[in-house]
Amino acid sequence: MARAASSAKSASRGKGGGARAGSRSKGGGKTAAARPNIPDFTRDEELRAYHDMLLIRRFEEKAGQMYGMGLIGGFCHLYIGQEAVVTGVTMAADPADASITSYRDHGHMLAVGIDPKGVMAELTGRRDGLSKGKGGSMHMFSLEKRFYGGNGIVGAQVSLGTGIAFAARYRGDDTVTLTYFGDGASNQGQVYESFNMAKLWNLPVVYIIENNKYAMGTSLERSSAQTDLSQRGASFNIPGEQVDGMDVRHVRDAAQRAIAHARSGKGPYILEMLTYRYRGHSMSDPAKYRSKDEVQSMRSEHDPIEQVKARILKNGFASDAELKEIEKQIRAQVTEAADFASVSPEPDPSELWTDVVVEGA
Amino acid sequence: MPTDILMPALSPTMEEGTLAKWLVREGDKVAPGDVICEIETDKATMEVEAVDEGTIGKIVVDAGSENVAVNSTIAILLEEGEDPSSIGETTSAHASPAPGPSAAPVDEQAAVAPAAPVTEGPGGAPVMEVAQDPDLPEDVEFVDMSVRQALNEAMSEEMRADPDVFLMGEEVAQYQGAYKVSQGMLEEFGDKRVLDTPITEHGFTGIGVGAAFAGLKPIVEFMTFNFAMQAIDQIINSAAKQLYMSGGQVAAPIVFRGANGPASRVAAQHSQDFTAWYSHVPGLTVIAPYSAADAKGLLKAAIRSPNPVVFLENELLYGVSFPVPRMDDFVLPIGRARIVRPGRDVTIVSFSMGMKYATEATERLVAEGVDVELIDLRTIRPMDSATIVESVKKTGRCVVVEEGWPQGSVGSEVSARIMEQAFDYLDAPVMRITGKDVPMPYAANLEKLALPNADEVIAAVNAVTYRT
């Protein structure tokens, strides 16, 4: 994937840069005073964040269109609104780190650098898709990028991600596993079974709870006795922070801290990302459980991409015309992916019978 | 009256044990709760406490005695004022300190406990010659070994050979295994490779599967497969489907193993056979061995397999010994049934504990002149249809034996395959002998009725051969 003007993979192992306004550390017996300063990005970092988030936004919009045209079937869960979470975390991670998430996974794949063509062709169920068309929207993987899905069962990826971290510790390979899940999954029993073992064995895993406030149609308040999800590791002595998940700077800052903690052998860390999805739970969800005003105010006041764009312009990191050029490149890339996914042939019927088991075993 | 102190059972399946040590002497006074002796089985050691107050009048079984039967008198307790001359008054009908399954009449114990595969009939006359596994060298030597030991050797050998193999589960490490299958492995491999988990099947199974995605080769032990129900989502939705969903990219080389099938007197939630459940799922390999040789050779193959394997053991077989080939690296092929006894009159197909009933029935039928072909499936998925179908083409009749429930059973699948692939060769309908279509009852008599037995197998063979 072509990235915009940035090669900055800054401070992937370093301690988080000083300021952490908008994030508070709790749990695990730790407390941290709120720090007023916002951790500023460099020009390259701002441009990378802008590019990566915009790519996810435009890709998801296109996926929504293609779903409407009947090119994508089944379930399709869009990431629009939450782009800062995976973008900021990825900026803090090392390319060798593993990641795993739920079925709302398209953005995670783009963020770690998986070719949009392969993602879109999987959405359309074609042979050039990441899973040869056999996985679909919810089940995509890339061993090359150490992306372990794409998991359709709510909460299952939390145990699986903990297991990937177990393998890292077993091998002593110094990688961290970034395990993403939603506020809905945070009520699943296996999440706590995994928290317990992750801390018991001090596994290098960062749990990133993408709290978009609604588990499908059920608000956090209606489903959770303790709505501060960063506290959910407290009884396992896992530190946690609530983070402004709409501001990519806060996300990266907190993620640097969490990843450094996990990599240093201190065990798991929880980041509760306060975020918001603009679309329904899936394409077939009209999202009537929340008001249009609520959605509109998030979009107009907290949009992660608009925040970055405003800073770039204000700081003179790029001109309006230069940003438009980035946008144009992204639109071309997304259109190319969509065209590719539309013309890629369906899988050969013989593929029905392949990959059930490893043959010749 | 003097009270008999009886040999207690340490588990529902224990029939005898070793009286390791006496901690009291004749003439000692004891109070309830005092430890009086230590007994051992191959699985565990336990201290025996006095139940009543009194004086040890006589020690009947000496320290160090082996094979002491459960419920036999090991000492006699005198109440205050009694003297040793009154000892003759006792009978073993009194004062059992260990009520429970071991108190069942001896013939019922024999009925639920597995018999070692007998190759000699009454009087030593051979009635059934067990055919040698064609996968073994002809001149191989055999050594008697319990299924437990065979499983332990299989895991240990594979862990020595491959540093990516590790064992995790409840009580597998410090406790040495709930059924002592992993005895000694913590000591040899250390706590990095033999891990005690909390009692959280769903979580640790997911962790095991994740580790397999990342390239390790976990062995996940379920204390019993009843508890794997908590984790079946990770087994099926994560492990079994991963390769397919990823278009062949991400494999799950993992073994889920542990005790499956009815145990003894543990009732509905701890006594059931999940073979048919797992055998339904594409992506899984399902193995259910009967003999120690198959347990060893197939577990080694399972650990080496790049696919997720559900390896179904049987608690009641752990202590049973079978001849196991003495070979440096004894691995059996997955997916191949074994003709245990060739014959021409009728085919009996079974696996795991079902083989006990099938073997007993075969011995009795052969003695009556029925030339039975006995097949042990060993691997349930992929199923060795060819061996079954070839056999039925020869015999024209088939009886399938298993402990699981009848609907959607392994026997149902075998029947369907025979119907599809050998219909014209059948001289009688295929019959299924299964566990009864009820949750497992607790009462000893009902439990016995719920399980299949050799008489039912013989009746089915008589029916399909029109001998009745």
Burial (0-12, 13-18, 19+ Cβ within 10 Å), B88: exposed
Find, in chain A, the residue whose alpha carbon is nearest to that of B214.
A164
pLDDT of residue A24: 56
Residue A251: closest CA among A29, A2, A53, A56 = A53
Residue A162: closest CA among A12, A267, A28, A27 = A267
- Per residue in A134-160, pLDDT tens? 999 999 999 999 999 999 999 999 999
To 10 degrees, what angle do helices B410-422 and B385-395 make?
Answer: 60
Question: Does B114 score more than 80 pLDDT?
Answer: no
To 10 degrees, what angle do helices A43-68 and A116-123 make?
Answer: 20
Of B61-65, B86-90, B128-132, B247-251, the least confident: B86-90
Q: How far is CA B221 from CA B134, B166, B172, B227, B298, in A?
A: 30, 11, 8, 10, 16
CB contact under 8 A, A143 and B249: yes
CB contact under 8 A, B243 and A164: no
Burial (0-12, 13-18, 19+ Cβ within 10 Å), A237: middle
- The separation between CA A118 and the C-alpha centre of its own chain, rounded to angstroms, equals 18
Question: How does strand A240-244 pair with strand B398-401?
Answer: unpaired
Residues 6+ apart with CB under 8 A from A55: A1, A110, A116, A330, A333, A334
CB A49 within 8 A of CB A91: yes
pLDDT category at B372 given cuts 50, 70, 90 is: very high
* Residue B234 with chain A: CB contacts under 8 Å: 156, 159-160, 190
Residue type, B176: Q
Question: Does B164 score more than 60 pLDDT?
Answer: yes
To 10 degrees, what angle do helices A304-315 and A248-261 make?
Answer: 100
Strand ranges, E, within chain A: 23-26, 98-100, 177-182, 205-211, 214-215, 218-219, 240-244, 269-274
> Mean pLDDT in chain B?
90
Question: Does B338 score more than 90 pLDDT?
Answer: yes
Q: How far is CA B181 from CA A255, B101, B176, in A?
A: 43, 23, 7
DSSP A265: I
pLDDT of residue B159: 98
| B259/B261 Cα distance (integer angstroms) | 7
Residue owning tokens 């009635």: B127
Question: Does B118 score more than 50 pLDDT?
Answer: no
Burial (0-12, 13-18, 19+ Cβ within 10 Å), B22: buried
Of the partner residues A141, A163, A170, the one whose CB lies closest to the CB of residue B246: A141
CATH tag for A23-342 (out of 3.40.50.970, 3.10.180.10, 1.10.510.10, 3.40.30.10): 3.40.50.970
pLDDT of residue B89: 56
Burial (0-12, 13-18, 19+ Cβ within 10 Å), B103: middle
Q: How far is CA A218 from CA A21, A155, B273, in A?
A: 29, 16, 39
Distance from CA of A54 to the nearest CA of B (A): 27
DSSP B204: H
Residues facing B224 on adjacent strands: B259
pLDDT of residue A25: 56
* CATH number for the domain formed by residue range(s) B3-93: 2.40.50.100
CB A64 within 8 A of CB A338: no
Residues 6+ apart with CB under 8 A from A138: A74, A75, A77, A103, A105, A150, A151, A152
Q: Which pair of tokens denotes residue B147?
A: 């299924």
Distance from CA of A130 to the nearest CA of B (A): 7
- Per residue in B388-421, pLDDT tens? 999 999 999 999 999 999 999 999 999 999 999 9
| B209/B239 Cα distance (integer angstroms) | 6
CB A154 within 8 A of CB B238: no
Residues facing B311 on adjacent strands: B257, B287
pTM beyond 0.95 = no
Q: Is the dihedral angle over the CA atoms B311, B313, B319, B321 positive or is it negative?
A: negative
Residue owning tokens 């559900």: B310
pLDDT category at B113 given cuts 50, 70, 90 is: very low
CB contact under 8 A, B213 and A148: yes
CB contact under 8 A, A197 and B204: yes
* CATH number for the domain formed by residue range(s) B120-131+337-464: 3.40.50.920
| B85/B95 Cα distance (integer angstroms) | 19
Q: Which pair of tokens denotes residue B268?
A: 């509905």
Q: Which pair of tokens denotes residue B173?
A: 């490490």
Distance from CA of B275 to the nearest CA of A (A): 19
Residues of B taking part in catalysis: 201, 270
| B386/B379 Cα distance (integer angstroms) | 13
Residue owning tokens 């639920």: B112
Q: How far is CA A214 from CA A179, A248, A287, in A?
A: 19, 21, 10
Find, in chain B, the residue whose alpha carbon is nearest to that of A173.
B214
CB contact under 8 A, B203 and A357: no
Find, in chain A, the residue whose alpha carbon is nearest to that of B232.
A156
Residue A176: closest CA among A254, A251, A83, A264 = A264
Give me the phi and psi of B160, to 5 degrees please. -65, -35
Find, in chain A, the residue whose alpha carbon is nearest to that of B213.
A164
Question: How does strand B16-22 pair with strand B65-69?
Answer: antiparallel
CB contact under 8 A, A148 and B244: no
- Per residue in A69-88, pLDDT tens? 999 999 999 999 999 999 99
Domain boundaries, chain A: 23-342
| Residues of chain A numbered 98-117 and touching chain B (CB < 8 Å) | 98, 100
Distance from CA of B34 to the nearest CA of A (A): 38
Buried b / exposed e over B153-183, threshold 16 CB at 10 Å, is: bbbbbbbeeeebbbbbbbbbbeebbbbbbbb
- Per residue in B92-111, pLDDT tens? 444 444 333 333 333 333 33
CB B421 within 8 A of CB B385: yes
Please compute, for residue B236, the number of CA atoms within 13 A of its CA located in the half-sphere on the CB side.
12
How big is the A-B interface in CB pairs under 8 Å? 148
Q: Is the dihedral angle over the CA atoms A318, A321, A323, A325 positive or is it negative?
A: negative
| Averaged pLDDT for residues B132-160 | 93
Mutate to test the interface with A, among B164, B194, B196, B207 (most CBs of A within 10 A): B207
Give the number of residues written for chain A: 361
To 10 degrees, what angle do helices A189-200 and B201-213 make?
Answer: 70
| B34/A305 Cα distance (integer angstroms) | 75
| Averaged pLDDT for residues B295-303 | 98
CB contact under 8 A, A194 and B206: yes
| Residues of chain A numbered 48-67 and touching chain B (CB < 8 Å) | none
A151 touches chain B (CB under 8 A): yes
| Averaged pLDDT for residues B9-36 | 87
Q: How far is CA B292 from CA B111, B202, B289, B330, B362, in A?
A: 21, 29, 8, 12, 20
Residue B443: closest CA among B271, B313, B245, B198 = B271
Residue owning tokens 């435009």: A58
Domain boundaries, chain B: 3-93, 120-131+337-464, 142-325
Residue A91: closest CA among A244, A246, A259 = A259
Residue type, A360: G
Strand ranges, E, within B362-423: 372-376, 379-381, 398-401
pLDDT of residue A361: 58
CB contact under 8 A, A361 and B207: no
CB contact under 8 A, A356 and B283: yes
Helix (H) or strand (E) segment spanning residue B303: helix B292-304
* Residue B207 with chain A: CB contacts under 8 Å: 159-160, 162-163, 166, 194, 197
Residues of chain A short of pLDDT 50, as ranges, are 1-21, 27-36
To 10 degrees, what angle do helices B201-213 and A156-171 make?
Answer: 60
* CATH number for the domain formed by residue range(s) B142-325: 3.40.50.970
